[in-house]
Every structure is written in C-alpha cells, then in structure tokens.
Amino acid sequence: MAAAAAQPIDPRGPRFNQAALVAGLLIGFLFDFRPVVPAYAVVLLLGAAFGPRYGPFLRLYAAVIKPRLAPPRALEDPRPPRFAAAVGVAVLAAASLAFVAGAPGVAWALALVVAALAGLAAATGLCVGCEMWLFYARRRGVRLVA
Amino acid sequence: MAARLLVVAGLLALFALAPALRRRGRRRLAAPAAHPPVPATLIAGAERTWVLFTTPWCASCVPVEEQLRAADPSARVVTVDATRDPALAGAFSVRSAPTALLADRDGQVRARLVGAEAVSRYVQA
C-alpha cells in the first residue's frame, strides 16, 4: 500500500474496537456462546479488509463516540492496526474451524489469546500486531504517515 | 462455569494492572541511554536543542513548536518531518507526532516527550 494512500486515523477508534472485541469474546467464553467467535472474525475482517468505514464498532465510534470527545492528541498510521486486525481475523478463523472440528478447548484458547492481546492494546495502547507491522516497516523503510 | 469465571477474572485483572506496568516499563525505556546521539548537524553546537518530529498531517505540531520556543528561548528548536526522514524517526523510535527530544551539546537525549499534552506538562512544570 502506498504511503500516500494511507490517511492518519484517531487511535482511539481501534482501541474502542479492541475493547468491544474483548467484551464480546469474554462474555461469549463465560457463557460458552460459540457463535461470537466467527461473528467477531467477520467484524474484524470488515475493518481490516475494507477500512474503518466498514468495521461496525469503528463506525459506531466515529459516528457516536468521537463527536463527544475532544480531538485526539495525536494521530496514527492506519496500517499497523489494520494488520493487527488481520492477524486477529486469522486466529479467530482458526478458532472457528476448531469449533467445527470438535475441539472447543483449542478454539476457546485461541479466542482467549486474541482477547488477551486486544485487551492489552485497549488498556495500554501496546498493540502486539501493530508492533509486528512496525518492525517490518522499519526494516523495509516504509514511511509512516503519523 | 467457575473455571471460566476464574479465567475471565484473571484476564480482567491483567487488563487493570497492565497500564501501570506499561507506565513503569516506559519510564525505563525512556532513559537517556536508550537513545542514540542526536546527529551533530541538528545540534549545530547549541547548548540545548529540541528536535521536534512532525508529520504534514499533525495539527498540534505547530502550536507545540511555538510552545517550546516560548518556554525555552535559549534552546535551538529543530523540526524534522518524520515522513521525509523515516530513518531518523526510526532511529529514535518515533511512533507518533509530535514527539520532542531534548538533546545536550553532545547530542545526548535528556528528555523525550510524546504528544502535545506531554509537552504542555513539561513546559508548565
């Protein structure tokens, strides 16, 4: 993706998305409600593949929450959180397949890994998937847009 | 159900403790030794130099630059567009704009401020 095509984003949007993901996955795990895993895989996929306009929670943040907040202190490059979401999609898809294959323990373990990393990102801003993309970007000399 | 509750409670406790642990980690990472020396071309012999990393889209960078100049008139203030010099930005692990580094005459980083609010807190302290 060309640097010129990437527009900086409000970093609170992905953090809201991560918080919603954690809440959904933990409630799903608590009540053994398995459809939440593929559903969140699709939710993440929409935002990762097509951009924040298509992610339901990102849209909710932009339309309802962001107008009530002060402007962000800093913007961030959108590509690291999109990459992190793509990693989340892959793991949640694997978890969904594990449910289908009759291995709910493996499935919930994978989903809880995603929940743990998303929760860490939402609570602290430390996004492991983003750091993976930034590591790649630094090695390749990719220009950040924020 | 009890085991699941325990797992969820453990994760929630981790999320609650994580911000404090991260702040501690950040303070350690922000130690001056973690940074390479600021290039002499930016220091230009000045006793104190603020290196302000910006981007073309950074709305708060210009006010921050003015704030630094007003608060520290004896210091040299240099702005670096991180999109034009990604190597330098990468060398100092710049992740967002504005990021300000305060360097001494030898190029050693004495302070690192990330975000407009951090700069405000620093200059008002």
Which residue from B15, B57, B89 is facing A8, i.e. has the nearest CB? B57
| pLDDT of the residue at B30 | 45
Sheet containing strand B109-114, edge to edge, reads B76-81, B48-54, B99-104, B109-114
In chain A, residues with a C-beta closer than 8 Å to the C-beta of B98 are 74
Pick the CATH number of B34-124 from 2.60.40.10, 3.40.30.10, 3.40.50.300, 3.40.190.10: 3.40.30.10
Question: Which residues are CB-neighbours of B43 under 8 A, at least 6 positions away?
Answer: B49, B76, B103, B105, B107
Chain A hits for B12, Cβ within 8 Å: 26
Strand pairing category for B109-114 and B48-54: unpaired
- Do the chains contact at B86 and A143, CB–CB below 8 Å? yes
For residue A142, the chain B residues in CB contact (below 8 A) are 86
Which run of H or E residues covers position B1? none
- Mean pLDDT within A50-68: 88
Query: Whole-model pTM?
Result: 0.62
- Does the pLDDT at position A146 exceed 70? no
Q: Hey, is the C-beta of B96 within 8 angstroms of any chain A C-beta? A: yes
Task: Write down the residue that tokens 């030898």 correspond to.
Answer: B106
- Predicted local confidence at residue A1, as pLDDT: 39
For residue A52, is the peptide bond before it cis, meaning its omega torsion is within 30 degrees of 0? no
| Distance in Å, alpha carbon of A54 to nearest chain B alpha carbon | 23
Contact residues, B window 34-93, toward A, CB-based 8 Å cutoff: 55, 57-60, 82-83, 86-87, 89-90
Task: List the domain boundaries for chain B.
Answer: 1-30, 34-124
- Cα separation of A128 and A121, whole Å? 8
- Please answer whether residues A88 and A21 qualify as being in contact, where contact means their C-beta atoms are separated by less than 8 angstroms: yes
Alpha carbons B85 and A51: distance in angstroms, whole number: 27
Question: d(Cα B45, Cα A25) in Å, to the nearest integer?
Answer: 56
Tell me the domain boundaries of chain A.
Answer: 9-140
**Per-residue pLDDT at A84 exceeds 90:** yes
CA separation, residue A77 to residues A95, B11, B81, B88, B117 (Å): 29, 28, 15, 17, 19
Q: C-alpha B51: how far from its chain's center?
A: 10
Find out whether B111 and B48 touch, Cβ atoms under 8 Å.
no
Query: What's the ipTM?
Result: 0.71
Query: In the prediction, which pLDDT does B2 show?
Result: 85
Minimal-distance CA residue of chain B relative to A31 = B1
In this prediction, residue A75 has a pLDDT band, given cuts at 50, 70 and 90, of confident
Assess whether pLDDT exceeds 90 at residue A99: yes
Residues A2, A138: Cα–Cα separation, whole Å:
15
State the average pLDDT over residues B41-48: 91
A95 CB neighbour count, 10 Å cutoff: 26
Q: What pLDDT, on the 0 to 100 scale, is given for residue A11?
A: 85
Q: Which residues pair with B113 in a beta bridge?
A: B100
